[in-house]
Chains A and B, each alone.
Chain A
Amino acid sequence: MEKKKYEVCLEVLRRFSEAGILDNIILIGSWCLYFYKEYFTGVYFPPSIRTRDMDFLVPLPPHMKKKVDVADLLKDLGFIPEFVSSQGYIRLGHPELIVEFLVPERGRGSDKPFPLPQIGLNAQPLRFLDFLAKNVIEINVGRLRVRLPHPVAFALHKLIITGRRTKREKAEKDRDQALSLLHFVIKHDRPDKIRSVYGSMPKKWRDQIRKRLAESDEKEIISVLSGTARK
């Protein structure tokens, strides 16, 4: 099952690349955790639970140079458009993957889908996604260059949205993923990066993160954020 999922995922990325849209979108969501092993080279990065969702962030304004009908692009693979909720979000479903597009929500926000005629679909606006778009890394997946949020940005973003989740289980999943990723960065990568990304966030967000970490009694991460961690 996992192998099939990965094959479908690669094929989606390959087609997006050929259509010229992969450079203009950022892979977010739990698939990032799968691909972070390409970033943490040389150390074992443990796999994590993920759903079928393959979410792509479209930074605003969209920079696609030509129009691409994404539903048509993936049609022969068996992807089928699904209308989710009464607001009419469109996502593309397949037994192995569900492809969905998201845009950063700005201002007062809206529960209506954001039209993306450049790709023939619409997107769900969500808070804090601009933050992910500002902290991006590029990794090689075969011959493809895939853009992902920096693992630290991914983790800190998860900690912020944890408090906004209505489902407790989802909040727990977000928190656990965020904490394990941050511990991994402290151990194997660059703990100073955590401090610099955290420092670039608005105070309100930083306070929320601190609160989440204090609730989980995460002294090690808090000391990294405060700059008091032992090297």
Chain B
Amino acid sequence: MVIKSILREELENSSRLKQEYERALKKLPQGALVSKTINGHKYYYLVRRAGRKVKYEYKGKVSGAVKRKYEEAKKLRAKYIGLLARVKKQIAFLRSALRGKEEI
């Protein structure tokens, strides 16, 4: 019974965490900045998906702060996607463990 209650608690934790990662992913700025060099000057485009299409939005010259913001968002997005996948696996495992017929 003790193990079962721990598993239940962990399932609640993982479910909450899943929601938080999904929320955080939505909050991150969409897309990635890419640069093009024209006549020795760097110009930036924001590349993002819109349905099945990839859209390029011209941003021109951007400040270091904006570049850092998108760089950080890119790293966090990759991190969160990886951790979200791990949380989903945990949820599946915990659900199947709790569904077991035998008393844990």
Say whether A associates with B: yes
- In the complex, which range does the number of interface residues on chain B fall in? 20 to 34
Residues of A contacting B33 in the complex (Cβ-Cβ under 8 angstroms): none
Contact with A along B55-90 (1 / 0, CB 8 A): 000000000000000000001100110110011001
Per the 8 Å Cβ criterion, residues 15-36 of B in contact with A are: 16-17, 20-21, 24
**B38 within 8 Å of A (CB atoms):** no
Query: Which residue of B has the minimal Cβ distance to A176?
Result: B2
Contact with B along A65-86 (1 / 0, CB 8 A): 0000000000110101110100
Complex contact A169–B16 (CB within 8 A): no
* Nearest CB on B from A67, distance (A): 21
Query: Which residue of B has the minimal Cβ distance to A171?
Result: B2
* Nearest CB on A from B10, distance (A): 6
Residues of B contacting A84 in the complex (Cβ-Cβ under 8 angstroms): 16
**A202 within 8 Å of B (CB atoms):** no
Once the chains are docked, how many angstroms separate the CA of A132 from the CA of B5? 26
**B50 within 8 Å of A (CB atoms):** no
Once the chains are docked, how many angstroms separate the CA of A81 from the CA of B19? 11
Complex contact A93–B10 (CB within 8 A): no
* Nearest CB on B from A106, distance (A): 28
Residues of A contacting B80 in the complex (Cβ-Cβ under 8 angstroms): 78, 80
Contact of A98 among B5, B13, B83, B90 (CB under 8 A): B13
Complex contact B5–A80 (CB within 8 A): no
Complex contact B17–A80 (CB within 8 A): yes
Chain B contact surface mostly: helix
Residues of B contacting A52 in the complex (Cβ-Cβ under 8 angstroms): 10, 13
Query: Which residue of B has the minimal Cβ distance to A79?
Result: B83
Chain A contact surface mostly: mixed
Complex contact A80–B21 (CB within 8 A): yes
Per the 8 Å Cβ criterion, residues 137-191 of A in contact with B are: 167-170, 172-173, 176
Complex contact A51–B10 (CB within 8 A): yes
Once the chains are docked, how many angstroms separate the CA of A49 from the CA of B6? 9
Contact of B9 among A51, A80, A176 (CB under 8 A): A51
* Nearest CB on B from A5, distance (A): 12
Complex contact B6–A93 (CB within 8 A): no
**B54 within 8 Å of A (CB atoms):** no
What are 28 A-B interface contacts by the 8 Å CB criterion? A49-B3, A51-B10, A51-B13, A52-B10, A52-B13, A75-B76, A76-B75, A76-B76, A78-B79, A78-B80, A78-B83, A80-B17, A80-B21, A80-B24, A81-B20, A82-B16, A82-B17, A82-B20, A93-B13, A93-B20, A95-B17, A95-B83, A95-B86, A98-B13, A167-B5, A168-B1, A169-B1, A169-B6
